[in-house]
Amino acid sequence: MLEVDDLACLKGDRLLFRGLAFRLQAGELLRVAGPNGVGKTSLLRLVTGLALAEAGEVRWQGCPIRRDREAFHRELLYLGHAPSINDLLSPLENLRFACAAAGDGSDEEACTQALVRIGLANQLDLPARVLSQGQRRRVGLARLFLSARRALWVLDEPFTALDVKAVADLAQALSDHCAGGGMVMLTTHQDAPFAVAPRVLDVGAYAC
């Protein structure tokens, strides 16, 4: 279970939100909502431990994430706004590196299958710089298929630049992950066909 208590976020010298609290149980899908600039991405970065909260605490399975960062990061998959793709490497090389760096195995067969499943069968060996925005986004998202054992998925605008079919497939994958006891926390501005309507957390309600 992910617990967030009394969280406050300072950006520059401006307080974005304060007093933000929520619980995320196994099997839940949480959509973080709010207008642009309200601090959705900042909230996700605080939850992952990339950024330091001004006040408040994030706990994973009852333990503050700062205290046992490595155990938390073994259970976490974060896909940020930047797709973390290097232009000089092919999608397959990018994906294998992402998996190896995260501490998962970088089995070539499994990575190839993940890329084929997400619709990049013909682009496996092209340098990433010739891919379209949507295809680049897919390379990052292919990690979802290799991260089933990670309980908490935190996704920043995963649907951006994807076509209608890819959005439906992704929504299905997220629903499946939740059905299998995982947790998903995401930001998005578009409607996606989830199996179960996600719980909504409005960051605007805590804005300063």
Partner 1 sequence: MLSTFLAVLRRDLLLAWRGRADVLVTLAFFVIVVCLFPFGVGAEPNQLRAIAPGVLWVAALLACLLSLHRLFAQDHADGTLEQLLLSSEPAALWVAAKVLAFWLSTGLPVVAVAPGLALLLDLEQGALPVLVLSLALGTPILGLLGAVGAALTLGLRGGGMLLALLVLPLFVPVLIFGAGAVEAEASGTGAAAHLLLLGGGLAGALALAPWACAAALRISTD
Q: What are the residues whose beta carbons fall under 8 Å from the beta carbon of 181, sequence distance 6 or more?
A: 26, 27, 151
Taking the complex as a whole, how short is the minimal distance between the CB of residue 200 and partner 1, in angstroms? 25
- The answer to the question of residue 157 lying near partner 1 (CB under 8 A) is no
The strand pair at 152-156 and 76-79 is best described as parallel
Helix (H, G, I), strand (E, B) or coil at 78: strand
- One symbol per residue from 56 to 95: x for binding partner 1 (CB under 8 A), - otherwise; what is it? --------------xx-xx-x-x-xxxxxxxxxx---x--
CB of 137 to partner 1, least distance (A): 12
Any alpha helices (H) in 87-161, and if so which ranges? Answer: 91-102, 108-117, 133-141
In the complex with partner 1, the residue whose CB is nearer, 81 or 199, is 81
3-state secondary structure of 127: coil
Q: Which of 82, 99, 91, 136 is nearest to 115 (CA)?
A: 91
Residues 24-63: x/- map of binding to partner 1 (CB under 8 A)?
------------------------xxxxx-----------
- The site for partner 1 (CB under 8 A) is made up of 48-52, 70-71, 73-74, 76, 78, 80-89, 93, 96-98, 100-103, 105-106
